[in-house]
Amino acid sequence: MKVSKLAANLVGSEIIKIGNQVNDLKSQGVEIANLTIGDLNSNIYPIPDLLKEEIQKAYQHNLTNYPPANGLLSLRKAIATDIKNRWNLDYSENDVLVAGGSRPLIYAAFKTIVDPADKVIYPVPSWNNNHYAYLTEAQKIEVETSEENNFLPTAEDLKPHLKGAVLIALCSPLNPTGTMFTKQQLTDICEMIVAENKNRREDEKPLYLLYDQIYAMLTFDEKHFDPVSLFPELKEYTIYIDGASKCFAATGVRVGWSFGPSLIIDKMKSLLGHVGAWAPKPEQEAVSVLLNHPEKVDEFVDHFKGEIAESLTILHGGIQHLKNTGFAADSIQPMGALYLTIKLDFIGKMKPDGTIINDSSDLVYYLIEEAGIALIPFSAFGNSRDMPWFRASAGGVSQDEIIKMLPRLELALKKLT
């Protein structure tokens, strides 16, 4: 049976592949600290009480028919008010689009802006941009980033690729690293985009900026910055991605939103109207109620991110202990999101059975089997399999699990020669 070229060449998610193996082993009773997917253990991190109550109330009131294609008006108004109060961003409810999580919105933004063979620029590592570029038949420009810049792109990194590009996709705090743009880093990039668009002809497509700030509320000691707050003239070219899934520990609730220029948002709305990627109506209603109680939002987020920050600090401390005792290990101070960036430079080492760890994926599967620890290699985010960096997500494990797994990690690494 023949399928489309797109389907035939579509690459599955390496994150899901590793996660499936972990789940299979856990179902067999194997103890594994699962640091893979950017999800949350809902027994450790339940959603806000008010959100839970309002979801249940909405179902009891039979709010189970179709929502408006662009999202409930009450929710879009609540989002517009929240982003004004929280980030000082002025967008009307008509420039807000709601969907079933952020993924459909990112896909819709790509499809709205990118024609086949158009240039799309994004850093590596970064989450899923390679797949969205493939789905839109874009000419992908992957910009390798460095540890020195916390794996975030600089204006200097991006500038050589601007000619003819139609989209730059950025994220801060970044998935997979949890690192964040400084004000200066983002300012330099924004200045470059403004200058590029001023130099383009009227018959040219502008250079748009897709800015994913889904983790913006989950920041620790750093301040979150966004493009339009720094440069209001970028409002015409910036599409924001945000939502409830991470900041409210509500990954399964599936309420995401995008806001940006009317031209782009209206076309995204039309596209998703054909796909039917709406968030469930009861969940939309509940999120609107929660957002209208900003004191409840702040109370929940402050506690939640404090717990996540503590877990990441424990994990970071464990990796730094390995480094200080002579292991080829390192980690970057956690700044935000759910993630710690870990370096385990053991490619080329020999396992106890005499086989060689040839790449980062080999090390991942070795640690699953030998230490009961599951990480995601940066190769899942666009980097080479030779790169010895990994993402560790703290959302699915307790602090006790992290503490217990660190000696197992040390023992497994000791066995490599």
- CATH 3.40.640.10 residue window(s) in the chain: 49-293
Q: By the 8 A CB rule, do 364 and 19 touch?
A: no
The strand order across the sheet containing 376-377 reads: 329-331, 339-344, 389-393, 376-377
CATH code, 5-45+299-414: 3.90.1150.10
Looking at residue 183, its pLDDT comes to: 98
pLDDT of residue 347: 97
- Whether omega for the bond prior to residue 173 falls within 30 degrees of 0, making it cis, is yes
How high is the pLDDT of residue 53? 98
What is the pairing mode between strands 165-171 and 119-124? Answer: parallel
pLDDT in tens, the chain (417 residues): 689 999 999 888 888 888 888 888 888 888 899 999 889 999 999 999 999 999 999 999 999 999 999 999 999 999 999 999 999 999 999 999 999 999 999 999 999 999 999 999 999 999 999 999 999 999 999 999 999 999 999 999 999 999 999 999 999 999 999 999 999 999 999 999 999 999 999 999 999 999 999 999 999 999 999 999 999 999 999 999 999 999 999 999 999 999 999 999 999 999 999 999 999 999 999 999 999 999 999 999 999 999 999 999 999 999 999 999 999 999 999 999 999 999 999 999 999 999 999 999 999 999 999 999 999 999 999 999 999 999 999 999 999 999 999 999 999 999 999
Kindly report the number of other CB atoms within 10 A of residue 112's CB atom.
21
Predicted local distance difference test score (pLDDT) of residue 91: 98
Fold of 49-293: Aspartate Aminotransferase; domain 2 (3.40.640)
pLDDT at 1: 62
Report the distance separating Cα 18 and Cα 9, nearest Å. Answer: 20
Looking at the chain, the domain(s) classified CATH 3.90.1150.10 span 5-45+299-414
